[in-house]
A and B are shown apart, each in its own frame.
Chain A
Amino acid sequence: MSHDLLEAVIILAQLLLLLAMSFSIIRMLRGPRAQDRVLALDALYVNAMILLLTIGIRSNSLLYVEAGLIIGLLGFAGTVALSKFLMRGQVIE
């Protein structure tokens, strides 16, 4: 019984995370200014990382956690570079 519950909850969680990612994408497409789009990109990669963790729970593989770690690293670098670009107009001075 509890295993059916767990399976249903994981599928529900994945649907919720997909909705969250689509909200971020809508904000990225609509966002009135550039900083809104960068913020939406930040939220998008965090949601993608959480979605990868649920896939990892569902498939009993530890590799997905490492993939999530890499997404976190690259997303951090990307957001910092974009913020720097918004501030100064160039990434590396």
Chain B
Amino acid sequence: MNHLDALPPWAAILVAIFVLLGALFAFIGSLGLLRLKNFYQRVHAPTLGTTLGTFFMLAASITCSTVLHARPIYYEILIGVFLTLTTPITLMLLVRAALYRDREEGSLDVPHNRPGE
């Protein structure tokens, strides 16, 4: 570790907190993906890692590179904007597909088509 020694102590502690929180959120999200019972419950778990996990890790990356390079570096925000736009689209498509498949099979666990739909 050579370049991280150039960080002042407050920045090092801030980056450490952000990195730890981001990794914990991603870990909890994947744990939920493994442990929850039903597909429609499991859909919710990984979004914890997609939103909070990614945002804390991006904050850590922005803090670290901005302090180290002594000029604002914030193009990591692009990843955040992109994920915020794409995650709802993918999950809605996926859940629509799953619902369609379950209804085609006549599964009793999902609500049936309403007449207007």
Interface residues of A (CB under 8 A from B): 1-3, 5-7, 9-10, 12-14, 16-17, 19-21, 23-24, 26-27, 33-36, 38-40, 42-43, 46-47, 49-50, 53-54, 56-58, 60, 62, 65, 68-69, 72-73, 76, 79-80, 83-84, 86-87
Name the prevailing secondary structure of the B interface residues. helix
Q: Which of B59-117 contact A (CB under 8 A)?
A: 60-61, 64-65, 68, 73, 75-76, 78-79, 82-83, 86, 89-91, 93-94, 96-98, 100-101
Name the prevailing secondary structure of the A interface residues. helix
Q: Quick check: B39 and A80 within 8 Å, CB to CB? A: no
By a CB distance below 8 angstroms, the chain A residues around B54 are 46, 49-50
Interface residues of B (CB under 8 A from A): 1, 3-5, 7, 9, 12-13, 15-16, 19-20, 22-24, 26-27, 29-31, 33-34, 39, 42-43, 45-46, 49-50, 53-54, 57-58, 60-61, 64-65, 68, 73, 75-76, 78-79, 82-83, 86, 89-91, 93-94, 96-98, 100-101
